[in-house]
Structure 1
Amino acid sequence: MTMTTAPLAAVFPIDDTVNAWVAHGRFTIPPTASGPLDGLRFAVKDIFDVAGYPTGAGNPAWLAGNPVPASSAPLVDTLLAAGATLVGKVLTDEIAYSINGDNVHYGTPLNVRAPGRVPGGSSSGSAAAVAARLCDFALASDTGGSTRVPASYCGLWGLRTTHGLLPREGMVPLHPSFDTATWLAHDPETFARVAAVLLPPSPHRFRRVLYPEAVCGLADPAFAAPLARVLAIATRLLEAAPALLTLPRGDETLDDWRQAYATAGGHEAWQTHGAWITASQPVFSPAIAARWQGAAGIGDDAARAAWARVHEIRAHVRGLFGDDAVAVIPSAAGVAPALDASGSAVDALRMRTLQITCIAGIGGLCQVSIPFAGDDGLPLGISLVGPAGSDAALVKLAIQVAAAL
Structure 2
Amino acid sequence: MASHSANLWVLLGLGLAGIIIMTKKLKKAIREDFGAFIEKLQLLPPPQPAPPKAPHPLTGLTFAVSDLFDIEGYVTGFGQPDWARTHEVASRTCPVVLTLVEGGATCVGKTVVDELAYSINGENKHYGAPTNPAAHARISGGSSSGAAVAVAANLVDFSLGVDTVGGVRVPSAYCGTIGFRSSYGAVSHAGIIPLSTSLDAVGWCAKDPNILRRVGHILLQLPFAPQRNPRQIFIADDCFQLSRIPRDRVVEVVIKSTEKLFGRQVLKHESLESYFNSKVPSLKEFQGKKANGEIRTSSMRLLANVMQFIRRHEFQLNHGEWINSVKPALDPAISTEIQEKIELTDTEIENCKAIRNDMRLALNSLLKDDGILVIPTTAYLPPKLGSKEIMSEDYQNSTYSLLSIASISGCCQVTVPLGYHDKCPISVSFIVRQGGDRFLLDTVQTMYPSLQEQADLLAKGKVSSNRTVSQEQSAEIAKEKGNQAFKEKQWQKAIGFYSEAIKLNGNNATYYSNRAAAYLELGSFLQAEADCTKAINLDKKNVKSYLRRGTAREMLGYYKEAIEDFRYALVLEPTNKRASLSAERLRKVFQ
TM-score, with structure 2 as normaliser: 0.63
- SS for the counterpart of 2:316 is helix
Richer in strand (by share): 1
Contact residue 245 and residue 379 of structure 2 kept, 8 A? no
Q: Does 1:19 align with 2:44?
A: no
Q: Which has the higher contact order (CA 8 A, sep 6+)?
A: 1
Partners of 2:309 and 2:170 lie apart in 1 by: 21
Match 2:328 to one of 279, 282, 297: 282
Q: Does 1:246 align with 2:260?
A: no
- SS for the counterpart of 1:336 is coil
Matches within 5 A, 1:178-327: 178-199=199-220, 200-201=222-223, 206-239=230-263, 240-249=265-274, 250=277, 252-294=298-340, 296=342, 298-327=344-373
Q: Describe the shift of the 1:317–1:73 C-alpha distance in structure 2 as closer, same or farther (beyond 3 A).
A: same
Question: What is the deviation of 1:335?
Answer: 1.4
Partners of 1:226 and 1:172 lie apart in 2 by: 35
Greater mean deviation of Cα atoms: 25-34 or 195-204 = 195-204
Q: Match of 2:154, as an amino acid?
A: R
Partners of 1:285 and 1:36 lie apart in 2 by: 42
Partners of 1:17 and 1:73 lie apart in 2 by: 25
* 1:11-39: CA deviation from partner (whole Å, max 9, x where unpaired): 997555611111xx112221124311111
- SS for the counterpart of 2:322 is helix
- SS for the counterpart of 2:250 is helix
Contact residue 141 and residue 147 of structure 1 kept, 8 A? yes
Contact residue 209 and residue 328 of structure 1 kept, 8 A? yes
Q: Describe the shift of the 1:342–1:134 C-alpha distance in structure 2 as closer, same or farther (beyond 3 A).
A: same
Counterpart position of 2:401:
355
Q: Describe the shift of the 1:316–1:75 C-alpha distance in structure 2 as closer, same or farther (beyond 3 A).
A: same
Q: Does 1:110 align with 2:110?
A: no
Partners of 1:33 and 1:77 lie apart in 2 by: 14
Partners of 2:357 and 2:28 lie apart in 1 by: 45
Q: Does 1:159 align with 2:180?
A: yes
Question: What is the deviation of 1:380?
Answer: 1.6
* 1:269-313: CA deviation from partner (whole Å, max 9, x where unpaired): 211111111112122212221221345455555444333333333
Contact residue 222 and residue 374 of structure 1 kept, 8 A? no
Question: What is the deviation of 1:328?
Answer: 1.1
Aligned residues: 393
- SS for the counterpart of 1:52 is coil
Cα RMSD for the two superposed structures = 2.2
- SS for the counterpart of 1:221 is coil
Contact residue 231 and residue 242 of structure 1 kept, 8 A? yes
Match 1:364 to one of 395, 403, 410: 410
Counterpart position of 2:87:
66
Contact residue 147 and residue 161 of structure 2 kept, 8 A? yes
Partners of 2:130 and 2:448 lie apart in 1 by: 27
Counterpart position of 2:171:
150
* 1:194-220: CA deviation from partner (whole Å, max 9, x where unpaired): 223223257865311111111121111
TM-score, with structure 1 as normaliser: 0.91
Partners of 1:150 and 1:169 lie apart in 2 by: 24
- SS for the counterpart of 1:248 is helix
**Which sections of structure 2, spanning at least 5 residues, go unmatched?**
1-26, 49-55, 278-296, 454-591
Contact residue 38 and residue 84 of structure 1 kept, 8 A? yes
Q: Describe the shift of the 1:223–1:185 C-alpha distance in structure 2 as closer, same or farther (beyond 3 A).
A: farther
Q: Match of 1:241, as an amino acid?
A: V
Partners of 2:361 and 2:161 lie apart in 1 by: 27
Contact residue 155 and residue 379 of structure 1 kept, 8 A? yes
- The structure that has the greater radius of gyration is 2
Q: Match of 2:441, as an amino acid?
A: V
Q: Match of 2:164, as an amino acid?
A: T
